[in-house]
Structure 1
Amino acid sequence: MKMDTVNSRILHSLVFAGILFVVLITSLTWFELRGKNDIMGNAYNKRMIAAEEEILRGSIIDRGSEILAETIASEASNIRNYPQKRLYAHIIGYHSSIYGKTLLEAKYNSELLGKSNLEFLSVFKKMLSKDVAQGYNLRLTLSHTLQTVAREQLGDRHGAVVALDPRTGEILAMVSTPDFNPNASSLEENWKSLIENENSPLLPRATMGLYPAGSIFKVVTAAAALETGNGDYMTNDQGTTVIDGMTFSNAGQKARGDIGLHQAMTVSSNVYFAELSQKIGAGALIAKAKDAGITKSFDFDLPRTDSRIGDSGMGKTELAATAIGQGKLLVSPLQMAMLAAGVANGGEIMQPYLVKTVENAGGEVLRETDPESLYKWVTPETAELLKEMMVSVVEEGTGTKAQISGVRVAGKTGTAQNEKSTESDSKDHAWFIGFAPAEAPRIAVAVLLEYRGEGGGRAAAPVAAKVMSTWLKMTATN
């Protein structure tokens, strides 16, 4: 009996020890695969801060090897230099001994310090080497030329431009304004004014700004109509319509007469889409918006804010407002560029990304990002119908200023009311989303201009046209 008790205790002890062993192995495995990089990449890790004095932090370059961030070694200390100054402030971020690191500098801190163990036996190589240790370099998907053009087009206006390749998800240009100089001397000298500035120059509007979508959301409403069997809906547009006691009007209350979906998209009829929403229903409209990624989180190289929309219990007037891009709907420029890219890519939205490769100092590729599908938000048939409507918008509708000579462009304009919009002093946002060439798209864009008081067709479409035409000329031989 006593022997049985002893054996039982031994067995329990062995089981307990086995459980502890499994927990230990699991913890070590998690740390090795993921936790280590998170800890080593933490900008406030004191060991990593100390290590930076002994390591030449890696460079960040564009797709054509233009230097966007570099470390200049000196006897006193290593200085992080941003030769393009403001141009990439909302992508690369900053690296400051006082204020820490942000954006790509923070996200890829361990790689830039060469601490990711991407090279076999790299630790031993560095231990044996007498040279200054060098971190890994990041090669981005961005084009410096296109980034420069996008920034020039924004000028002194506040807003954002996002351009990507709809076939791969590569971000080609991404600009937010107002911006700031991320070099440490300028950053530290102007920090107080930067954080107190009511225009929020530290905010990456392209990824973290949320705005009413206005009429660019009609692309989603049209998709929901087509896929619920309401694509043939017709109405007599008298310039205004009343839904559950609320009046919805076209721009200037212009009457369009008998009108269907294709023409309504071309001229951006609020009356048509407000009435159409009642046929579609809140559930179907919201479901289609979610198919496009609105409200969904996804991995990205930079911090981003999820877009928002009301719930399926919304009333008739809120449904009508949402269908024309108002109501509780809030979207980011990145999200809407992805939506346009999804139409361009036959209904499939690709995972967006900024970092193409991580390379060692010798140029050897240690890690490469491959294109990956993120959402299939509409069928290829629906995407083709949406594309033809968007081509009509640019050829004969509200988006004619997005035309490019010799190229068929697809697009949608938007003018979004916001908290500053009033009848006497309009501060509406101006939007444009689109892609080109329509038959074989190589670039998709979203342009947002804050509080412009102008329609998207007048203010935002020309910006998009310049960005798209620049890229098409650059890639004409591809």
Structure 2
Amino acid sequence: MNTPLRRLATVVVAMFVVLMGGATWVQFVQADALNNDGRNVRTLYREFGRARGPIVVGGEAIASSAPVDDAFKYQRSYANGELYAPVTGFYSIVHRGTMLEQAENDVLNGQADSLFLSRLQDLITGKQPQGSSIELTINPAAQQAAWDALGDQRGAVVALDPTTGAILALVSKPSYDPNQLTTHDSAAANAAYQALLGAEGDPLENKALQGPTYPPGSTFKLITAAAALESGRATPESVLTAPDELPLPQTSATVKNYGGSSCGSGGQTTLADALRVSCNTAFAQLGLELGADALREQSERFGFGNDELSVPIRVEPSEFPDEVNAPNTAFSALGQYSVRATPLQMAMVSAAIANEGELMTPYLVQTVRTADLDVVREADPRRLSQAVSPTTAAALRDMMVGVVQNGSGKAAQISGVQVAGKTGTAQTGREEESPHAWFTAFAPADAPRVAVAVVVENGGAVGNEATGGKVAAPVAKAVIEAVLGQ
């Protein structure tokens, strides 16, 4: 073979190698990424061309897919859309999925590893593949009660079964109608999404789980009291320093009680009475004595700082600050300064106290079933931590009962039911904004069936006159009554 032919052959071989290498790279190495690229229209057709499983609450589908006569074949729709939007999220051809629609996407579209045998059976029998259904832990009556009681106010409500961690109610307001976003008209879906992005009150935010996180205010005093009881420094009967105004070290700042009130006679009060009337000066002084490390460690045992928590929707971690000087330790003990919490987190605090100090991992999905109703997955309640000892939990329970019976939480009283609760009124750090109103509770106190947390942003309809006892406690009461069938 002469030299020109050898060179030509070499070039041809090299071209074949490059061609085969490129094809191999695209078809095998990049296949998964290209297949799942949101810009891949065939991916959309494949996803929407399969019957997506329903999301079920109380035996009724709150999200379902029905066949339609277009290229996508199925249309996703939501019953009681606004009520359940923070739970279901939406599934859109433009913005794909959020909340449970995203977190459980592989189950709903039938592609989860756990559904392999079901897919194999469909392949053999020639049956059209279908997604699995998801049955939730939500109690429909509690969900509706939370929605109705919150009214037009911005905020969130979370209710838990303290013995299992099952989420019984999850409401965030303002909400939105997911049906606006599931249209197969991409321009209309995008326009609806952009409108929601710019809407007042950020309706696309899940305020119960993800953000914004809030200063928990005086509901955090439960954690400060827990740290004191766990350390052995105090009992409910221990006498605390409780002046009308507490000077803080290293600064000219002071801590005052709500409305300038006194907590007890002679500048002293017991721990139980300090919690009952939500005494700021007593808890600020207690926080100084305990120190930031003790408060942080106790908050973490209740779930603060957990960045791996999902229900299976991702939960924004609640925070106790890492670097805290003495005066800010006092404010942190009151749930102020840089302390931040989700409503789920504060419901977890009450749930742990209700459950003899044992904190269960919260969850939303009770059962996953195939289209043939075979159970694929069943919830398995798991312990997250031992937040406090049973002895400390019992002491906190009794003190919380005092808050509702004869303290700042009287608005949560229910005839014939002993309610244990704690109020909170949290400054936002902005002078022009009214404080957030909080309440967290559980009931019945002697045999708990529900733990709840409520936050009403900027005092709701009452504004600057708001307190947790006035604004948030009645919302919690309504949810508790719904769960107990009152």
CA drift of 1:37 comes to 12
Which one-letter code corresponds to 1:73 in the other structure?
Answer: P
Which one-letter code corresponds to 2:153 in the other structure?
Answer: R
CA drift of 1:282 comes to 1.6
- Residue of 439, 442, 445 corresponding to 1:432: 439
Looking at structure 1, the residues matched to 189 and 137 of structure 2 have their Cα atoms a distance apart, in angstroms, of 26
- Residue of 459, 462, 473 corresponding to 2:474: 462
Alignment length (residue pairs) = 436
Match of 1:399 in 2: 409
CA contact (8 A) 2:357 2:393 kept: yes
The reply to whether residue 218 of structure 1 matches residue 230 of structure 2 is: no
Secondary structure of the structure 2 residue equivalent to 1:206: coil
CA contact (8 A) 2:241 2:285 kept: no
Q: Provide the alpha-carbon RMSD of the alignment.
A: 2.3
Instruction: Write the mapping of 1:32-43 to structure 2, written as runs, cut at 5 A.
Output: none
- Residue of 68, 71, 84 corresponding to 1:88: 84
CA drift of 1:98 comes to 1.2
- Residue of 128, 134, 149 corresponding to 1:132: 128
CA contact (8 A) 1:411 1:432 kept: yes
Which one-letter code corresponds to 1:140 in the other structure?
Answer: L
- Residue of 200, 203, 212 corresponding to 1:201: 203
CA drift of 1:120 comes to 6.0
Which one-letter code corresponds to 2:261 in the other structure?
Answer: K
Match of 2:420 in 1: 410
- Residue of 447, 453, 456 corresponding to 1:446: 453
The reply to whether residue 271 of structure 1 matches residue 281 of structure 2 is: yes
Match of 1:68 in 2: 62
Secondary structure of the structure 2 residue equivalent to 1:386: helix
Looking at structure 1, the residues matched to 149 and 482 of structure 2 have their Cα atoms a distance apart, in angstroms, of 12
Q: Mean alpha-carbon deviation: is it higher for 432-441 or for 182-191? A: 182-191
* Deviation string, structure 1 residues 342-395 (Cα, Å, up to 9, x no partner): 000011110110011110112211111110000111111000000000000000
Judging changes above 3 Å, is the alpha-carbon distance between structure 1 residues 193 and 87 closer, same or farther for their aligned structure 2 residues?
A: same
CA drift of 1:198 comes to 4.3
Judging changes above 3 Å, is the alpha-carbon distance between structure 1 residues 390 and 45 closer, same or farther for their aligned structure 2 residues?
A: farther
Match of 2:168 in 1: 172
Which one-letter code corresponds to 2:336 in the other structure?
Answer: Q
Instruction: Write the mapping of 1:273-422 to structure 2, written as runs, cut at 5 A.
Output: 273-300=283-310, 301-311=312-322, 313-422=323-432
CA contact (8 A) 2:94 2:189 kept: no
Judging changes above 3 Å, is the alpha-carbon distance between structure 1 residues 305 and 71 closer, same or farther for their aligned structure 2 residues?
A: same
TM-score norm. by structure 2 comes to: 0.85
CA contact (8 A) 1:162 1:206 kept: yes
CA contact (8 A) 1:420 1:451 kept: no
Looking at structure 2, the residues matched to 177 and 338 of structure 1 have their Cα atoms a distance apart, in angstroms, of 20
Secondary structure of the structure 1 residue equivalent to 2:178: coil
Judging changes above 3 Å, is the alpha-carbon distance between structure 1 residues 366 and 208 closer, same or farther for their aligned structure 2 residues?
A: same
CA contact (8 A) 1:91 1:104 kept: yes
CA drift of 1:121 comes to 3.2
Looking at structure 2, the residues matched to 127 and 309 of structure 1 have their Cα atoms a distance apart, in angstroms, of 52
CA contact (8 A) 1:216 1:325 kept: yes
Q: Which runs of 5+ in 1 are unaligned?
A: 1-35
CA contact (8 A) 1:420 1:428 kept: no
* Deviation string, structure 1 residues 87-118 (Cα, Å, up to 9, x no partner): 11111111111121111111111111111243
CA contact (8 A) 1:87 1:151 kept: yes
